């Protein structure tokens, strides 16, 4: 029985699989228990396509709003963006680009990770 910090990584691109939205539902769910776990959301690999400005968010908006109200930003690995040729101006304004060194900090802070 303890509060944990969980790093949720989202590796699946939208919309080929449902992990892009059900991963966020699980993130919000993880904060819903009695221990009110701390969560980080990190997009890696093909998951970073979710950060594109024009992505249809109709299925994810409510989870993103809930996380935003709790002060949680969606983090996106810079190296994954670069490998895919995604520039800063292509991104939605509410995502935070972090370098791989900061990914290592998130890992260091996490008690657990969950991959989606």
Partner 1 sequence: MANLYLIDKPFADSALGLAREDPDAEVVLLQDGVYLSVEPLLAARKKVYAVERDVERRGLSSKIGNDVKLIDYHQLVDLLFANKVLNFA
Partner 2 sequence: MAKLGILLTAGPFQFENWETAVNIADAALDKGHEVEMFFYLDGIYNPNRHQTFPDLPTLPKDRFAKLVERGAKPIACGVCVRARGQKGEDYIDGVPVGGLPDFAQILSDVDQLVTL
Binding site for partner 1 (CB under 8 A): 9, 11, 13-16, 44-47, 49, 52-56, 77, 79-80, 83-84, 90, 100, 103-104, 107, 110, 112-115
Q: Which does 69 bind (CB under 5 to 8 A by kind): partner 2, partner 1, none?
A: none
- Tokens describing residue 70: 């709790």
Cβ at position 15, least distance to partner 2 in Å? 5
* Smallest distance, partner 2 to C-beta of residue 52, A: 17
Among candidates 37, 8, 25, which has minimal Cα distance to 106?
Answer: 8
Chosen from partner 1, partner 2, none, partner binding at 56 (C-beta under 5 to 8 Å by type): partner 1
Q: For residue 15, say if its preceding peptide bond is cis, omega within 30 degrees of 0.
A: yes
Residue 64 interaction partner, one of partner 1, partner 2, none, beta carbon < 5-8 Å per kind: none
Strands 95-98 and 112-115: unpaired
Give the Cα separation of 56 and 52 in Å (integer): 9
Question: Taking the CB of residue 25, how many other CB atoms lie within 10 A of it?
Answer: 16
What's the full length of the chain, in residues? 116
Q: Which does 53 bind (CB under 5 to 8 A by kind): partner 2, partner 1, none?
A: partner 1
Distance in Å, CB of 100 to partner 1, minimum: 6
């Amino acid at each position: 029985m303890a509060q944990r910090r969980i790093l949720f990584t989202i590796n699946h691109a939208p919309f080929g699989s449902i992990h892009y939205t059900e991963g966020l539902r699980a993130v919000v769910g993880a904060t819903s228990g009695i221990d009110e776990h701390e969560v980080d959301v990190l997009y890696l690999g093909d998951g970073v396509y979710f950060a594109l400005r024009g992505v249809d968010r109709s299925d994810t908006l409510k989870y993103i709003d809930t996380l935003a109200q709790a002060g949680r930003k969606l983090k996106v690995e810079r190296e994954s963006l670069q490998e895919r040729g995604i520039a800063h101006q292509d991104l939605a304004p509410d995502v935070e680009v972090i370098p791989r060194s900061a990914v290592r900090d998130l890992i260091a802070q996490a008690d657990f990770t969950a991959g989606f």
